[in-house]
Amino acid sequence: MTQSFGFDVAHLLAGSMLVLSFVLLYQDRITAVLNVFALQAIALSLSVAWQALIQDSPHLLVTAGIALVVKGIVIPTALHRIVRRLGIHREIEDVISAGPTMLTGLGLVALSILLVMPVGETVSVLVREDLAFALAVILLGLLMMITRRNAVTQIVGFMSLENGLVLAATGAKGMPLVVEFSVAFSILIAFIVFGVFVFRIRERFDTVDVSALDQFRGERGERG
């Protein structure tokens, strides 16, 4: 296995994650969003597994496995069920239209490359490429969070952001496993808490539309 082949595959996998991020951004049907997210998680797990291979660090396989099982299968399935139960598997409304969102996304990708590429010789090319993709995925995830109104899609945006984090973390050579655990741990907690909140929010508001929450801002009634 040559260095360049390893590089190419890593590049391909990371690139596909980025592309999927774009698709997420573009996709406006909630079920499709969940499916695309599952796809991205799979791409992530492949990427992590590949990193485990070329870095000779088998513990990364655990991370890949977690990514595949939790993010690729469990969470999307769970979210599908929630969505169906809430009866919101209809179209989701964008806050800003797709065109500007896409353009912003492109700009963010350019920014990521601009930021990471000029980094000096101390960091290897592979790591740099990885980092650029990861940064772009993170920024796109954030962008998705702010362009969507629906709590479920926001969660997806956030998890896509986490995917970027994992990509970056695995790209960093020899980062101690403790971090992996913490990532998994935090995602787990994140999910549980999310679940609790979504549950509670449903219980109280019969909707997970976050904008409906906002009317309960403490001082709203007394404005002016």
Partner 1 sequence: MISPLHAILLIPAIAVVVLALIPGYRIGAILNMLASGLTFMAGVALLVVPRYRSDVLIIDDFNIYLVILTTFVAFTTSIFSASYIGHELETGRLTPTFLRFYHALYQAMIGAMNVALVANNIGLLWVGVEVATLSTVMMVGIYRTPAAVEAAWKYFILGSVGIALAFFGTILVYLVAQEVLGEGLQAMAWDLMVQASPKFDPKLLSLAFVFLLVGYGTKVGLAPFHAWLPDAHSEGPTPISAVLSGLLLNVALYALLRFKIILAANPATLNVGLIMVVLGLISLVFAAFMLYRRRDIKRLFAYSSIEHMGIITFAFGMGGPLANFAGLLHMTMHSLTKSAIFFAVGHIAQVKGTQRLADIKGLSTSHPVLAVGLALGVIAIAGLPPFGVFTSEFMLVSSSFARQPWLAVVLVFGLIVAFGALILRLQDVLFGEASGPAGEVKATYVPLFLHLALVLMAGLWLPEPVVRWFRAVAAQLG
Partner 2 sequence: MSACIGLWCVAGLLGIAAAGIVAGRWAVGTTLIYGASLVASLVGLAAALWHLLAGAAPETLSLALGLPGIGAIFRLDALAAFFLIVANLGGAVASLYAIGYGRHDTARLRVLPYFPAYLAGMNLVVLADDAFSFLVAWEFMSLSSWALVMANHRAPENARAGYVYLVMATCGTLALLLAFGLLAGPDGGYGFAAMRAHHPDTFTGALVLLLALAGAGSKAGLVPLHVWLPLAHPAAPSHVSALMSGVMTKIAIYGFIRIVFDLVGEPVWWSSLIVLAVAAITAVVGILYALMQNDLKRLLAYSTVENVGIIFIGLGLALAFRASHMDLPAALALTAALFHVFNHSLFKSLLFFGAGAVLTSTGERNMEHLGGLIHRMPKTAALFLVGCASISALPPLNGFVSEWLTFQAILVGPGLPQWGLRFMIPTVGALLALSAALAAACFVKAYGVAFLGRPRTPQAEGAQEVDRFSLAAMFILAGLCFIAGVLPGLFIDMLGPVVKDIVGARMPVQTFLPWASIVPIAETRSSYNGLLILLFLAVSGTLAAMFIHRYATRATRRSDIWDCGYPDPSVAAQYSSSSFAMPIRRVFGSTVFMVRETVDMPRPGEMRAAHFHVKVLDPAWRYVYGPLARAVMRTAVTFNQLQFLTIRSYLTLVFATLVLLLLVVAAWR
Is the Cβ of residue 61 or residue 172 nearer to partner 1 in the bound state?
Answer: 172
CA pair distance 143, 87, nearest whole angstrom: 25
CA pair distance 55, 78, nearest whole angstrom: 33
Residue 5 interacts with which of partner 1, partner 2, none, CB < 5 to 8 Å by class: none
Question: Per the structure block, which two tokens stand in for 82?
Answer: 């929630």
Residue 131 interacts with which of partner 2, partner 1, none, CB < 5 to 8 Å by class: partner 1
Residue 114 interacts with which of partner 1, partner 2, none, CB < 5 to 8 Å by class: partner 2
Residue at token pair 């740099």 = 128
Residue 121 binds to partner 2 (criterion: CB under 8 A): no
Residue 145 binds to partner 2 (criterion: CB under 8 A): yes
Is the Cβ of residue 49 or residue 126 nearer to partner 1 in the bound state?
Answer: 126
CA pair distance 125, 74, nearest whole angstrom: 34
Cα distances (Å, whole numbers) of residue 38 to 75, 76, 96, 99, 177: 8, 6, 24, 24, 24
Identify which range of 7-15, 54-62, 108-116, 191-199 contacts partner 2 by CB under 8 A: 108-116
